Amino acid sequence: AQTVTQSQPEMSVQEAETVTLSCTYDTSESDYYLFWYKQPPSRQMILVIRQEAYKQQNATENRFSVNFQKAAKSFSLKISDSQLGDAAMYFCAYRSAGSQGNLIFGKGTKLSVKP
Amino acid sequence: DSGVTQTPKHLITATGQRVTLRCSPRSGDLSVYWYQQSLDQGLQFLIQYYNGEERAKGNILERFSAQQFPDLHSELNLSSLELGDSALYFCASSVGLAGGLSSYNEQFFGPGTRLTVL
């Protein structure tokens, strides 16, 4: 069974600075997808960024980028120029490329942004 | 707004009771997923339906059941409720079944139903 581990329960960053959230996963599959979701205090789950395992190029969405290391099974999220609105829980998630499309989530990292 | 609606937003009930949570997927989406978010278990997948049929099961208790109706809305039924069932229950929907990373299969989450069992 696949597992996702986020080793940082809490992180803090100064406004305008850069922060990296860590995620590792375990799988025997070669084809899969990885995601970062943001959950602000409103509790809404918001997709931040996604990565296909077969793509070597790291995904980027504006201030958000990932460092995908397939051999190491690592998938970190970098937030540049942090803003107060980035404060939230961040979840790393895995999805098989096979017939089961459900997401497997890590425990989450709570990010605080200091003004 | 993801386009996925869930009712009610909040639900408070007593142990031993039964409740029904409702989810309406985005227009055109055929797949519905149910997830539970609790303090001790984190976010975990419960069950998936596609076009009215059950497609995948996760860590769903036997006391819980779900169905998807012809109009594609879904209901999650929780019975013989225990204190530990208190959680945030999310519904997500996608157009397709699974596999692939096109927008066809991206999951859009509803706002969740907060269940409190006293």
For residue B18, is pLDDT > 90?
yes
Cross-chain Cβ contact B98/A43 below 8 Å: no
* Per-residue pLDDT at B81: 98
Percentage of chain B surpassing pLDDT 70? Answer: 93
For residue A11, is pLDDT > 60?
yes
Q: How far is CA B114 from CA A44, B10, B80, in A?
A: 12, 5, 17
* Per-residue pLDDT at A106: 97
For residue B103, is pLDDT > 50?
no
Residue pLDDT, tens place only, B45-84: 999 999 999 999 998 999 999 999 999 999 999 999 999 9
Which residues 25-54 of B are in CB contact (within 8 Å) with A?
A: 31, 33, 35, 42-45, 48
Assess B111–A contact: CB distance below 8 Å, yes or no.
yes
Q: Which H/E stretch holds residue B47?
A: strand B42-50
Distance from CA of B80 to the nearest CA of A (A): 26
- Residue B70 CB neighbour total at 10 angstroms: 7
Q: Which of B6, B9, B10, B109 to mutate to test the interface with A (most CBs of A within 10 A)?
A: B109
* Per-residue pLDDT at B97: 66
* Per-residue pLDDT at B40: 84
Q: Enumerate the residues of chain B whose CB falls inside 8 A of the CB of residue A104.
A: 45
Q: Identify each DSSP E strand in chain A by its residue range.
A: 3-5, 10-14, 19-21, 24-26, 32-39, 46-52, 60-61, 64-69, 74-79, 88-96, 104-105, 109-114
Higher pLDDT, A1 or A99: A1
CB contacts < 8 A (A, B): 64
Q: Enumerate the residues of chain A whose CB falls inside 8 A of the CB of residue B111.
A: 42-44
DSSP reduced 3-state for A48: strand
Cross-chain Cβ contact A101/B111 below 8 Å: no
Cross-chain Cβ contact B100/A97 below 8 Å: yes
Percentage of chain A surpassing pLDDT 70? Answer: 98
* Per-residue pLDDT at B101: 53
Quickly state the pLDDT bin for A97 (edges 50, 70, 90): confident
Q: Please say whether the beta carbons of B17 and B84 come within 8 A.
A: no
- Residue B73 CB neighbour total at 10 angstroms: 16
CA nearest to A110, candidates A3, A7, A11, A4: A11
